[in-house]
Amino acid sequence: MTADLDRARELLARAERVVVFTGAGVSAESGVPTFRGPGGLWKTFRPDQLATPEAFARDPRLVWEWYGWRREVLAACRPNLAHVAIARWMLQRGGATLVTQNVDDLHERGAVEAALGLARQGCLRGAAAGVGCPGGGEADEAARRAAAFAAAESVAPIRLHGSIFHARCTRCGARREHRGRVDASNEADLPRCACGGLLRPDVVWFGEALPEGALRAAFGAAASAGACLVIGTAGAVHPAAGLVDETAGAGGRVVVVDPGETAYDGMADVRLWGAAGEVVPGILRDA
Ligand code: APR
């Protein structure tokens, strides 16, 4: 493993631009179920009943009940070492783009943790550098927190499949953050938009197109990247899964981290068989 770790570090350090592409596996150690692995959501639940526009039209109460449950599971989860290591590395090196298929908010929360840690060490780069000297008073701590939150925003992921903590109106299309508890006991109490339209989770369901802007930005970044670090995705769901081909097709290198088999194993320049929380910090330390 050590030789592979060194090789992965070398490939990433040599690439001017890097894309980090994540799937459900990066959040597995935080307690978030994956979809297709052991104990995966699609082993227990039927996607045609819960994750299609037709299912929502048929029974919005059932669909909201399920997303309400997933939100509660997520609320009890914390970012793991992989989420924090990715953000810390991106904040320190620059030139990296994070693309996720996940609808959880653990990358963003991991980025805040990473940025706060760097700010407290006085190591936050760029505009935030030196804000609030370590060990200073309350004002310094407030300045550090503000700088850390701004820095965390700068490494936020491109979301290909939306966000479970946002909702969209089925009538006017308005989108907004939506974190509250959902009372799905009857249809009349389901969340509604100011226009009166029924809100739906702002995630991409099977059979739906991906958000155009996110898709263009993600595939554009992948095509110009010298390396793609793939973490915790089986690579089974297109068009998102095609992102890695963009990098490989343009001569870029591919590093894959996953304890199980993936669709990318044949094209990987370095294949690291292990859990994200155990392997990723080692790859990204000083990379
Ligand atoms: N660390 C890294 N990878 C892991 C870990 C771990 N601790 N645990 C499991 N994995 C790997 C599995 O081996 C598998 O390859 O994570 C991958 C998860 O694959 P899927 O469950 O298929 O999830 P993902 O690839 O993200 O699914 C893609 O499918 O259902 C849709 O929209 C949904 O975004 C999702 C898309």
Q: Per residue in 171-183, pLDDT tens?
A: 999 999 999 889 9
The ligand 1 atom at the shortest distance from the C-alpha of residue 257 is 2
Point out which residues pair with 167 in neighbouring strands. 176, 201
Average pLDDT of the chain to the nearest whole number:
93
> Ligand 1: distance of its center to the CA of 242 in Å?
15
> Ligand 1: distance of its center to the CA of 146 in Å?
33
Q: Is 83 a catalytic residue?
A: no
In the prediction, which pLDDT does 273 show? 97
> Ligand 1: distance of its center to the CA of 187 in Å?
32
How many of the other CB atoms lie within 10 Å of CB of 24? 22
Task: Using alpha carbons, list the distances in angstroms from residue 38 to 28, 42, 244.
Answer: 11, 10, 24
pLDDT at 11 over 80: yes
Q: What's the chain's length in residues?
A: 287
Ligand 1 in reach of 27 Cβ (< 6 A): no
The ligand 1 atom at the shortest distance from the C-alpha of residue 34 is 21
Distance CA 166, CA 245 (A): 30
Ligand 1 in reach of 29 Cβ (< 6 A): yes
> Ligand 1: distance of its center to the CA of 2 in Å?
24
pLDDT at 133 over 80: no
In this predicted model, what pLDDT tens digit does every residue of 249-280 receive, in sequence order? Answer: 999 999 999 999 999 999 999 999 999 999 99
**Residue 93: band (very low, low, confident or very high) from pLDDT cuts 50, 70, 90:** very high
Residues 238-264 as b/e (b if ≥16 CB within 10 A, e otherwise) read eebbebbbbbbeeebbbbbbbbeebbb
Ligand 1 in reach of 162 Cβ (< 6 A): no
Residue 29, amino acid: E
Distance CA 208, CA 23 (A): 18
Question: What integer is the mean pLDDT of 86-95?
Answer: 95
In the prediction, which pLDDT does 184 show? 93
**Residue 37: band (very low, low, confident or very high) from pLDDT cuts 50, 70, 90:** confident
In the prediction, which pLDDT does 207 show? 95
The ligand 1 atom at the shortest distance from the C-alpha of residue 82 is 1
> Ligand 1: distance of its center to the CA of 22 in Å?
8
The residue behind tokens 């009940």 is 65
In the prediction, which pLDDT does 208 show? 97
Token pair belonging to 110: 């991991």
CB 25 within 8 A of CB 231: yes
Question: What integer is the mean pLDDT of 232-239?
Answer: 97
Distance CA 158, CA 155 (A): 9
What proportion of the chain, given as a percentage, has pLDDT over 70? 95
Ligand 1 in reach of 160 Cβ (< 6 A): no
Residue whose Cα lies nearest atom 9 of ligand 1: it is 25
In this predicted model, what pLDDT tens digit does every residue of 148-197 receive, in sequence order? Answer: 999 999 999 999 999 999 999 999 999 999 998 899 999 999 999 999 99
In the prediction, which pLDDT does 40 show? 84
The ligand 1 atom at the shortest distance from the C-alpha of residue 203 is 32
pLDDT at 226 over 80: yes
Ligand 1 in reach of 53 Cβ (< 6 A): no
